[in-house]
Structure 1
Amino acid sequence: MSEAPQRSLWRRARRWAVLFLITYLGIVIVFWFLERRLVFVPTSTQEEWLEPEDRRSQDVSFDSADGNKIAGRWIPPETPHHGAVLVANGNGGNLTHRGGLAADLRLATGAGVLLFDYPGYGKSSGTPSENGCYAAGEAAYKWLTDEQKVATSRIILYGESLGGGTAVELATKREHRALVLIYTFTSLPDAAKNRFPFLPAKTLMRTRFDNLSKIAKCPRPVFFVHGRADTVVPFSHSEQLYVAANQPKEFVRLDGIGHVRLPGELYLPALVSFLNRHAP
């Protein structure tokens, strides 16, 4: 090949390389700006606000330390001795979409169940963020202990998916009976890397929810549930969290189950048995 065609070929290659780099950087910038919209997918009351599935449910509210008014829905326990389950939701919908879960937990455990929304979800004020989720969780915990006089040693922290981050954060700081994690990720950047392997998620993302670095700081019993067919949060994330967690711990592995609302019969009997074996 003569010198002139070689120069032409290299010029075309450089142009394609520059075009690819500009396109890739554009995609990265778009994802950076859209991060919160991709992470948090709230449903407003105008979009949907469902009636409770348990007729004993009461709509409540409390203030968080960051100034937001947090909406909650409370099902009282059978007796004060049964304590309460504090449920931290996943990233989509609002608390009314967990009415079936709340009813199942109340029936299985006899404990009271408190659902709450993050800022910007349902009736809660503000806009969603990682710190906002933590502040809402703290406010919900404080409402249980201050308003309902639930003993701290009888509070079960329950987190599903994104809510696992709020539950783990609470478990590192507040006394509790047990920590329950339903298809929870090691960290949000790790989960994002699974969905978008072409992006530098670990360095790009500002929202972290770094559960793997915190789980060993959780001193109470930990109960894990994860479906092996989960394509949103890989099953391996719970495996890593389980290995890093302190004893006592238990892992319910569900074959053929993806990232869906779990029927109670798949794991609640095992959860109740676990709680009974490790009673406060």
Structure 2
Amino acid sequence: MTTALEPPPRRSLRHRVLRWAALLALTYAGIVTVFWFCERRLVFYPASADEVWLKPKDPWSRDVWFHAADGNKISGRWIPPETPHHGAVLLAHGNGGNLTHRGQVAAELRAALGAGVLLFDYPSYGKSSGAPTEESCYASAEAAYKWLTDEARVPPDRVVLLGESLGGGPAVELATRHEHRALVLVFTFTSLPDAAKYHFPFLPVHTLMRTRFDNLAKIGRCSRPVFIAHGTADRTVPVSHSERLFAAANEPKEFLRLEGEGHDLAIVTLYAPVLAKFLDRYAP
């Protein structure tokens, strides 16, 4: 006599929920781990000189070199000022491309301010050696500032520190350490984890990220005039970041809110004339 097989017991709802929760937790942990290992690739987008090296927009430009304290050889491009009194702009660029992509920005700044412009690359960008990290970006900016004041003989109080996007980090860091004429920030974030949170709200970036560039924590230590420009349609770094930086900055300061403008280098044509008036007024 045969007996019918009994059906297997049905798994409880609690068991199924726990199983799905464990699966989701493992998936989330995997995403966080990938993000942690790929952080540098997500932050820095260098273009080497082998990939692209554009001709300068200004005929007075010349390529220069300097050595950073960490041993990296850093490439730069220098446009002299109209007169020594005009000083110079030290331009720390954003996280993509290389210094040659800022040729038009440099030409516009020289035309509007009469100042010289020194562009420099971070490690692995353009012709520069090494690997990009927060610390190596600071070291590159330090080397560029030293070249500008020692070799080009620009008086420290005639140096405008300009940071574009990620370049705001090295510019703010320099402003806390060295004499300068003014600090200029263009579509710059409060901190890199804050910027990452905007794009990855589901990740614990404030705990996870090693690359910080905490501009908000430092800008209050900048004692010279501060000029900030940001477009309201910026989808890379929201304009609220610049608003918070402006609120934390010391006087004298000015915030140029560019209605309808995005994260675009072309906005130099909009902020450069306003910056010239700001410098004449507060940092003549």
TM-score band, normalised by the shorter chain?
over 0.9
Deviation at 1:269, TM superposition (A): 1.2
Deviation at 1:261, TM superposition (A): 1.1
Deviation at 1:12, TM superposition (A): 1.2
1:8 aligns with 2:12: yes
CA distance in 1, matches of 2:52, 2:17: 52
Q: Secondary structure at the match of 1:216?
A: helix
What amino acid does structure 2 have at the position aligned with 1:115?
Answer: L
Which of these residues, 89, 94, 101, is aligned with residue 93 of structure 2?
89
Which of these residues, 228, 239, 245, is aligned with residue 235 of structure 1?
239
What amino acid does structure 2 have at the position aligned with 1:127?
Answer: A
What amino acid does structure 2 have at the position aligned with 1:228?
Answer: T
Q: Secondary structure at the match of 1:176?
A: coil
Flag structure 1 segments of 5+ consecutive residues without an equivalent: none
Deviation at 1:9, TM superposition (A): 1.5
Confirm or deny: 8 A CA contact 2:172 2:218 kept in the other structure.
yes
Confirm or deny: 8 A CA contact 2:93 2:165 kept in the other structure.
yes
Residue of structure 2 in register with 1:159 after alignment: 163
CA distance in 1, matches of 2:136, 2:283: 32
Q: Secondary structure at the match of 2:215?
A: coil
CA distance in 1, matches of 2:161, 2:48: 25
Please list the CA deviations of residues 59-91 of structure 1 after superposition, one character each: whole Å capped at 9, or x if unmatched: 000000000000000001111111000000000
Please list the CA deviations of residues 1-49 of structure 1 after superposition, one character each: whole Å capped at 9, or x if unmatched: xxx65x5221111111000000000000000000000000000111110
Deviation at 1:235, TM superposition (A): 0.7
Deviation at 1:263, TM superposition (A): 3.2
Q: Secondary structure at the match of 1:23?
A: helix
Structure whose CA Rg is larger? 2
Residue of structure 1 in register with 2:30 after alignment: 26
CA distance in 2, matches of 1:85, 1:267: 14
- Structure 1 runs of 4+ with >2 Å offset: 262-265
Question: What count of residue pairs does the alignment treat as equivalent?
Answer: 276
Residue of structure 1 in register with 2:70 after alignment: 66
Residue of structure 1 in register with 2:195 after alignment: 191
Residue of structure 1 in register with 2:220 after alignment: 216
Residue of structure 1 in register with 2:119 after alignment: 115
Which of these residues, 254, 271, 276, is aligned with residue 272 of structure 1?
276
Please list the CA deviations of residues 242-265 of structure 1 after superposition, one character each: whole Å capped at 9, or x if unmatched: 000000000000111111113333
Confirm or deny: 8 A CA contact 2:225 2:283 kept in the other structure.
no
Deviation at 1:212, TM superposition (A): 0.4
CA distance in 2, matches of 1:131, 1:104: 30
Residue of structure 2 in register with 1:257 after alignment: 261
Deviation at 1:137, TM superposition (A): 0.3
Residue of structure 2 in register with 1:147 after alignment: 151
CA distance in 2, matches of 1:162, 1:264: 16
Deviation at 1:279, TM superposition (A): 2.7
CA distance in 2, matches of 1:231, 1:100: 22
Query: Over the residues paired in the alignment, what is the CA RMSD in angstroms?
Result: 0.9
Residue of structure 2 in register with 1:204 after alignment: 208
Q: Secondary structure at the match of 2:188?
A: coil
Q: Secondary structure at the match of 1:212?
A: helix
Residue of structure 1 in register with 2:60 after alignment: 56
Q: Secondary structure at the match of 1:207?
A: coil
Flag structure 2 segments of 5+ consecutive residues without an equivalent: 1-8
Confirm or deny: 8 A CA contact 2:231 2:239 kept in the other structure.
yes
CA distance in 2, matches of 1:169, 1:130: 11
Amino-acid identity (%)? 68
Q: Secondary structure at the match of 1:273?
A: helix
Confirm or deny: 8 A CA contact 2:226 2:251 kept in the other structure.
yes
Moved more, 168-177 or 230-239: 230-239
What amino acid does structure 2 have at the position aligned with 1:74?
Answer: W
1:103 aligns with 2:115: no
Residue of structure 1 in register with 2:4 after alignment: none
CA distance in 2, matches of 1:79, 1:257: 33
What amino acid does structure 2 have at the position aligned with 1:224?
Answer: I
Q: Secondary structure at the match of 2:51?
A: coil
